[in-house]
Structure formats: structure tokens, C-alpha cells
Amino acid sequence: MTAHPGPSRSRSRARSRTVGLCTAALVATALPAGGATGDAWAAAPGAGARAASATCAASPTPTGGEAKRILDIAEDTRKELDLKAVVLRVTRDGKEVLTAALGESMSGVPTTADMHFRAGSVAIVYMGIAALRLVEQGKASLDEPISRWLPDAPHADRITLRMLGGSTSGLRDYVPDPKFLAALYADPFRPWTPDELVAISASHPLLYPPGTSWSYSHANFVLLGQALEKISGMPLAELLRQQVMGPAGLGDTRNGTTPEIEEPVLHSYDTERGPYEESTYWNPSWTTAPGAVLTTHVCDLARSAEAVGTGELLSAAAFRTQLDPGTVGLGGDTPGCSPRDCFKQLPARHFGYGVIVQNGWIQSNPSFAGYAAIQAYLPSERLALAVSTTTGPKAPAYNTAQTIAGRIAEALAPGHDLSGAGPAEPERKS
């Protein structure tokens, strides 16, 4: 990203590919009636969790059946959308249906399933789970003002933990701010501090009184991460490891304190600054709270989809809160907030506590600097999808991983639409 505008096509991507980590379509169905296993949330780290495979490798090339259909969808879409690489994994009942790696990471370097990429807003899901677990341990209340832990935060006496995790605080998103974008494009390697980021949001008036509508804001999750550190008394990276990654067996999902990515690396490329250029190591410090800037590989991402989507890390009551913390019914006709930002949260289309619920799927769809990904779980079919993509010079600006996942969902689970934003519906990122 750069200060010069570049071609109009690249500027339009500023808010649709690099600028974001989470929400794309926010299209959801009614909440699952069930919940999680009753005691799983209280287990010690690692208890009851199925450890991720020590090796993430592509399946043997399928010659027919369901796996062949999935592979054909991925390969056809890769060519259609000019994607440089696609890695994906599909499981049912926790058992592999297909793991595949297509295209190249770099010119002449084939993509492999064990390559690591940025996990973006998946960390927001983890922060939500950690918050709900701390609440059930009696260490906090979702409806306490954050002034208890962050007295200097903007509107701290009016904003609660529930509002941060459900993105109903009214804080404006700092990402669309023109000054932020100019600085980000001018130096994509610049490190950003939480205080710098929150100050950008605080420089604008609230979009609406806290808790009265819905709009996505990165500032909510920067503040949530800071609050979680105060509540738990430990660094956020350690809290997420203890509360989420450890119990879920996500051995290859890590917090990055620098732009470094663990080898082997799935390289990314982008046109947001004008030319098609390598963007793998652009600094992700602005995307969410320090300690929650994650990298992973596709096997961990599929396991993550299953752990989140089954609610195994939460009590049944906390899982219900995760899927609807009170967001359903908010948004819509909000004076002073555009329908694109404050859109109506419906039982079939809403943001939960850090997750997106979409036509029965429980998902997260991050994108950043040429990377796009999705983790999604359909409880009714016990089906987990994980996809990560990187772009070629003519790739579209929307989340192409969600496009692939949507086509796979259509083939495997008709009636449960997982398609994301496309040219007709600009996606929201974060």
C-alpha cells in the first residue's frame, strides 16, 4: 500500500483485500439448537483435544467421488480467478475428505499443504472464546463497562466487553480513515501500536450510542485484547495458547510479534499499491491486538473450524452466547451510519461474539495483503472447510477463498449457502 493512488482498480482494493481480517458477508442462518459439550470449556489445556497432525500433507490425488469433485472445483476456480495458490482441507466428523495444494508459492516453487499463512480474524474468534471462558470462571462480566480494566479507553464507561466482542460499541473503524490509509500505503512495513490505532477511531464521534446498533470496527478487537490481558493477568498470546490453541491441539498456529512467518511460507502478492508486488512480509501489527496476530497452516485451520463450530471449548450456555450475544436485531436503519456499515443483523445473517454465523455455518473469513482464507463448520453435517488463497495480477478484490468454499459447500451441503461477497456485494474485511 502506498501514498500514490495507482490505478483505480488497485485503490478499490484498499478496503477489500489488504484492509481487513474478518467480516465479509455476515450471512447466517438460525442458530444451532444444540451446544457444546458441557464440561469441555473447563478442561486443562490439552485435555480432550485431538492433537493436530504433526505433518500436514496433501491427500493422494483422487480419481473419483466427493474428493475429486472438491479438487475439480478448487482447480477450476483457481484458473478462473487468476489465483497463484490454493490450499484447502475438508473434513467430515473430523476425518479427512481431501487436503490439496495447488499452484505456486513463488515462481517455480510449488505450493505445499504445510505452508504457513496469516490467519487474520481467526484470532478474533479466539479472543471471543477466551473472553467467554474468563466470564464463566467468574473473572469478568460481559456487561461490565471496560472502564474497570481500561479506564483511559474511549467511552470506557459506556462500552462493555459484550459490545467489543459483538462489535456494537459504536466506535468507528480506523481502517477506512483516509490518514490511516495514506500512512499504510506509504509504508506497509510500518509497525503500529494499539494506542495509535485506537486514537484514530477515538478522533471521530461514535456512529451510534453504544449497544444500539452494529458496525464492524477493528478498534473493538484491539481494545478487547487489551482488556483480556488485564482480566487474565497474562500476555494475550499466552492466554490464547492456554485457552484455545492448546486445548484445540493447534500446534502450528502461532502468534507473530514481527512480520516473520514460520517456514515453509506461502508467499502472497498484491496490486493495492499499483504494481503487482510481493506482500508476504507487510507488517500486520495494525490488524488486531498484539498477541493475536496469528499464522497457521491449512490442517490447523480445518481443525480450528471444527473446534470453534462444535463449541467444544465452551459450555453450552457460552456457546449460545458466542453465536448470538445480542447482535440479532441490531443494525439496519441507523441515523448517520450507512446501510453498508450498519446493516441489519438477522437470525440468518449476523455477527456473533467474534464469529460469523451464515446459513448454518459458523465461520471466519480473513484477508490481508493478498492473502485470503476461510474456516467454516456446518454442525448439521459435521463438515469443516478450510481454504487459503493467494492472488495473481488479475485476481478479483473480494475474498477468493470464500468463493471456493462457497462452491464446495454448494456441492457438499446444498441449501446451506456459504458464498461470500463478490463483484455485486463488496465484502467487508477485517
Residues pairing with 216 in the sheet: none
Question: Does residue 298 have a pLDDT over 90?
Answer: yes
Query: Going by C-beta distance under 8 Å and a sequence separation of 6 or more, which residues neighbour residue 95?
Result: none
Q: CA triplet 108, 110, 111: central angle to 5 degrees?
A: 140
Q: How confident is the model at residue 55 (pLDDT cuts 50, 70, 90)?
A: confident
Q: How far apart are CA 268 and CA 106, in angstroms?
A: 9
User: Which residue reads 507487510 in cell numbers?
Assistant: 282
| pLDDT for residue 327 | 98
pLDDT averaged over the chain?
88
Q: 3-class DSSP state for residue 75?
A: helix
| pLDDT for residue 28 | 32
Residue 346 DSSP label: B
Residue 274 DSSP label: S
Q: How far apart are CA 414 and CA 410, in angstroms?
A: 5
Question: Does residue 367 have a pLDDT over 80?
Answer: yes
H or E, element range at 218: helix 218-232
Q: CA triplet 133, 136, 139: central angle to 5 degrees?
A: 90
Mean pLDDT of 255-280: 96
Residue 383 gets the label, from left (phi > 0), alpha (psi -120 to 50) or beta, of beta
pTM (two decimals):
0.89
Residues pairing with 98 in the sheet: 90
Torsion of CA 18, 215, 374, 317, to 10 degrees: 150
More confident residue, 29 or 233: 233
| pLDDT for residue 300 | 98
Grid cell listed for 1: 500500500
**Are 210 and 170 in contact, with CB atoms under 8 Å apart?**
yes
Question: Does residue 88 have a pLDDT over 90?
Answer: yes
**Are 373 and 366 in contact, with CB atoms under 8 Å apart?**
yes
